[in-house]
Amino acid sequence: MKINLGCGDHYAPGWVNVDAISNDAVNPDVVADITEKLPFQDIEHIYAGHVLEHIPHDRVSDVLRRWKESCTAGAELAIVGPDCDRGEVMVAAGQMHPLEYELLLHGGERWPGDAHLWRCTEAETMRLAIEAGWLCRAVPVASLFGTIYPLVSGVTWQFAMMCQKGTDEEV
């Protein structure tokens, strides 16, 4: 089973698209609170593109742990998100407008829940995923194009990581 968690307005054909809301802009297959126990078992692939920054920071590790509990052994989790550290560097180098950085930092607020609740970075997201028991490695965002994962954009201020559900001995 392939799950696109927090799909927002990015529906991925061939995946079970899940979001907390359904409206004119967001039309998931399943409406569910992805911060609680997932309504699925035997998940083999999770895509979480621009999701974790919408969850309160102090809950992210527990949420990632809950996702892991619904997965098969060896399941993969692809995480893509905004890297505020990269954004700051890009602003300083004149490669990003400060207003674009503010959007990266705070979110689009296009619908309820579309706000960033913490200063998301690759390093902090990696720490939280490892704390939750995932085996993770950073990957170039562009490396996800052409894979099974429904990456929408390759903008340079994003980070990507691939995580795997390991055994208790590996974690």
Q: How far is CA 128 from the centre of its chain?
A: 12
Residues near 99 by Cβ (< 8 Å), separated by ≥ 6?
none
pLDDT computed for residue 23 by the predictor: 84
Amino acid identity for residue 2 in this structure: K
Q: For residues 86 and 145, give the distance between their C-alpha atoms in angstroms, rounded to a whole number.
A: 20
pLDDT computed for residue 4 by the predictor: 97
Please report, rounded to a whole number, the percentage of residues in the chain having pLDDT higher than 70: 97
Task: Retrieve residue 66's tokens.
Answer: 């809950």
Helices (H), the chain: 57-69, 84-92, 98-106, 122-131
Q: For residues 39 and 67, give the distance between their C-alpha atoms in angstroms, rounded to a whole number.
A: 10
pLDDT computed for residue 154 by the predictor: 87
pLDDT computed for residue 80 by the predictor: 97
Which residue positions in the chain have pLDDT lower than 50?
171
pLDDT computed for residue 108 by the predictor: 84
